[in-house]
Amino acid sequence: INSGGESSKESSRSSTPVLAADRTERLRDKMRRRTESGDHWFSLEFFPPRTASGAVNLVSRFDRMGSGGPLFIDITWHPAGDPGSDKETSSMMIASTAVNYCGLESILHLTCCNQTKEKITGYLSKAKHLGLKNIMALRGDPVGADWEEEEGGFNYATDLVKHIRCEFDDYFDICVAGYPTGHPEADSYDEDLRHLKEKVDAGADFIITQLFFRADTFLKFVRDCRAIGITCPILPGIFPIQGYQSLRQLVKLSKLEVPEEIMRVIEPIKDNDAAIRNYGIEQTVGMCRVLLESGNVPGLHFYTLNREVATMEVLRQLGLWIEDPRRPLPWAVSAHPKRKVEDVRPIFWASRPKSYIYRTQDWDDFPNGRWGNSSSPAFGELNDYYLFYLKSKSSKDALLKMWGEELTSEQSVYEVFTSYIKAQPNCAGHKVMCLPWNDEPLAPETNLMMDELDKVNRRGVLTINSQPTINGKPSDDPIVGWGPPGGYVFQKAYLEFFTSSENVTVLLKVLKKYEPRVNYHIVNVHGQNTTNAHDMQPNAVTWGIFPGREIVQPTVVDPVSFMYWKDEAFALWIEQWAELYDDESPSRMIIKYIHDNYFLVNLVDNDFPLDNCLWQVIDDMFELLDNPPEEQPTEQPVEQPAEESPVEDQSPK
């Protein structure tokens, strides 16, 4: 893995033209700006999962809940769970994944009691290195019951705040906890307030409170804080009651009392989860309305318990959930500080953005405006792209149902693709929800082309990526819009597919008629490469024009990175599909045959003001395949490697 030293001097740029403030502001400044503008916002708390598959699920929950527009999320810290390790379930790794791969502004909790300064500094350094910018500084619960103050150690969260400011200056935004009813161990409510004041004076930027059950509790707490000179933002911790057991457990841990008016409702329905959840939603919405209307609450912080339904429903009812968030760029940006200037990516990883982020994580700089063919930094190796955030969310069993327990021919592979595109059940009656190259259902804009995609996949043009032509749609278009308001977005039509060498031979003839309108790259697993790209230059296929800004061209077809993508795209046939089957099984041999013999093709229609001609190109190819010119003898496929195809006899065509 190489960070591409050459590129660092070539591509470093001081400013990024899109939504600069949104991407470059630190959390406390975003919070201040949102508060001053008077709009309300929300944030979400999660705890680290216990298992690897729990981690996969949590990350896809981040993606779903991230789409609603939280200002930040935070990840709790459990000293007993090896929270600073590299394990996929550690707090550190979960927070890093949220920032780097899900693009979420994140706060990592950190507890200090029973920890050495060296250990804490180590955690903070690691967090900084991973791109984390925010810490929730907590004392934490002592391990065992015999805790007492240590000389020079971390006895209070204040010590941790001081330590962070001392060792890392102003790098981190620091959050501290507030207790609307006083910390259970504090001598008094007033003394606890004074402790909170100390934490803020030591350098904390804002406060998140412990949960509470009555709006008044919080509003009084804020008044009391203001009265003793605490001026920073104070965010209420909101806990939607989601079940009887979880409520009891939380109350026990936090030593809180549930008000009688709530217990009266809950006790009778304690075995009816749905009823309790509905009550919790109603109760939370009511309380949140009071808080927001008080004018003292700019945003709400939700204790999600890693669940989606209740919190999302509360947010929807409050009108805080953003159903159709504006996209700053066509792809999801990463929240790592060094990627804040990133504004262009190759189109190839459009459906695998986490893989792209992973494979470029060691780059020092991100091409900003110009891809720069001669200076493309090296991509990370493929060898460990099985990191949990890249894993399929489906089990092997589910995958076999979707992709076929037993393949009988290349045709059965074509049918899997067709079922995926139509979002219809395959011949065994299972819906195909994903493919090795697409872990999610089709994007809305791809739906616009469903009929054409269906038609070509049936005949073995196995599409894995595409985008339609767009000639100047408003930047707030609900399907294809992105970037600041008042602008216009454009796309060149793009189509990427695997297909047989026989098809490629004919396709190359057809493409001659489409010069220079259509650019193509055609490559097989061995790297045999045919292209009409000019001088290996990248082709911008998505761009936007905005008021008062430079042009933004966030997506390119880049010949250099296509060769890296090619390795990944071909490998997925084997790693994700062939390996579902037994070693010598016909199913595996069929996938292996495709892997060894098919070509990966990408096509760009440069004439974006005209109708997309790429379907016509494929039609012309089918036409020529169906009606070969009679006088000429059949030619050998030009690009066909002179190898035997081991399954030719087994795989009826």
Interaction between residue 612 and its own copies (CB under 8 A)? no
Interaction between residue 488 and its own copies (CB under 8 A)? yes
Spot the catalytic one: 25, 36, 45, 579: 45
Tokens for 262? 């709530």
Number of shown-chain residues binding its own copies (CB under 8 A)? 51
Interaction between residue 561 and its own copies (CB under 8 A)? no
Phi, psi of 53 (to 5 degrees): -70, -30
Interaction between residue 33 and its own copies (CB under 8 A)? no
Nearer to its own copies, 272 or 471 (CB): 471
Rg of the chain in Å (alpha carbons): 28
Among 172, 206, 371, 562, binds its own copies (CB under 8 A): 371
How buried is residue 513: exposed, middle or buried, by Cβ count under 10 Å (0-12/13-18/19+)?
exposed
Interaction between residue 20 and its own copies (CB under 8 A)? yes
Interaction between residue 553 and its own copies (CB under 8 A)? yes
Per DSSP, 425 falls in state: B
Contact 471, 608 (CB under 8 A): yes
Interaction between residue 490 and its own copies (CB under 8 A)? yes
Nearest distance in Å: CB 492, its own copies: 8
Interaction between residue 123 and its own copies (CB under 8 A)? no
Interaction between residue 573 and its own copies (CB under 8 A)? no
Half-sphere exposure of 638 (CA within 13 A, CB side): 11
Considering only residues 286 to 325 of the shown chain, the ones binding its own copies according to CB under 8 A are: none
Interaction between residue 477 and its own copies (CB under 8 A)? no
Among 609, 629, 633, 652, binds its own copies (CB under 8 A): 609
DSSP for 459-515, written as a single string: TT-EEEEEE--EEEEETT-TTT--SSTT-EEEE-EEEEEEE-HHHHHHHHHHHHTTT
Among 100, 111, 134, 375, binds its own copies (CB under 8 A): 375
Nearer to its own copies, 236 or 487 (CB): 487
Among 5, 547, 628, 646, binds its own copies (CB under 8 A): 547
Interaction between residue 363 and its own copies (CB under 8 A)? no
Nearer to its own copies, 122 or 486 (CB): 486
Nearer to its own copies, 20 or 443 (CB): 20
- Residue among 108, 205, 194 at smallest CA distance from 156: 194
In the chain, what is the greatest distance between 2 CA atoms, to the nearest angstrom? 99
Stretch near its own copies under the rule CB under 8 A, chosen from 58-66, 123-131, 324-332, 533-541: 533-541
Nearer to its own copies, 102 or 540 (CB): 540
Q: Is 6 a catalytic residue?
A: no
Interaction between residue 442 and its own copies (CB under 8 A)? no
- How do the residues of the chain divide into helix, strand and coil, expressed in percent and rounded to 5? 40, 15, 45
Task: Find residue 75's DSSP bridge partners.
Answer: 46, 108
Tokens for 236? 């209420």
Q: Cα(555)–Cα(536) distance, rounded to whole angstroms?
A: 16
Contact 464, 435 (CB under 8 A): yes
Nearest distance in Å: CB 328, its own copies: 14
Interaction between residue 532 and its own copies (CB under 8 A)? yes
Interaction between residue 370 and its own copies (CB under 8 A)? yes
Considering only residues 332 to 351 of the shown chain, the ones binding its own copies according to CB under 8 A are: none
Among 286, 472, 641, 646, binds its own copies (CB under 8 A): 472
Interaction between residue 555 and its own copies (CB under 8 A)? no
Interaction between residue 546 and its own copies (CB under 8 A)? yes
Considering only residues 512 to 531 of the shown chain, the ones binding its own copies according to CB under 8 A are: 516-517, 519
Nearest distance in Å: CB 472, its own copies: 6
Nearer to its own copies, 312 or 333 (CB): 333
Nearest distance in Å: CB 169, its own copies: 23
Q: Cα(615)–Cα(498) distance, rounded to whole angstroms?
A: 15
Nearest distance in Å: CB 548, its own copies: 5
Contact 544, 488 (CB under 8 A): yes
Tokens 């590299």 found at: 86
Interaction between residue 587 and its own copies (CB under 8 A)? no
Nearer to its own copies, 298 or 346 (CB): 346
Task: Report the 10 Å Cβ neighbour count for 456.
Answer: 26
Interaction between residue 491 and its own copies (CB under 8 A)? no
Nearer to its own copies, 140 or 554 (CB): 554
Contact 465, 568 (CB under 8 A): no
Burial profile 609-642: b = 16 or more Cβ within 10 angstroms, e = fewer: eeebbbbbbbebbbebeeeeeeeeeeeebebbee
Stretch near its own copies under the rule CB under 8 A, chosen from 45-53, 173-181, 454-462, 544-552: 544-552
Q: Cα(345)–Cα(355) distance, rounded to whole angstroms?
A: 12
- Residue among 37, 45, 35 at smallest CA distance from 76: 45
Angle at 156 between CA 246 and CA 146, to 5 degrees: 70
Nearer to its own copies, 94 or 540 (CB): 540
- Residue among 381, 638, 608 at smallest CA distance from 501: 638
Task: Report the 10 Å Cβ neighbour count for 281.
Answer: 21
Give the residue numbers annotated as catalytic, written as ranges: 45
Residues of this chain that interact with its own copies (CB under 8 A) are: 9-15, 17, 20-21, 368-375, 471-472, 485-488, 490, 516-517, 519, 532-535, 537-540, 543, 545-551, 553, 556, 604, 606-609
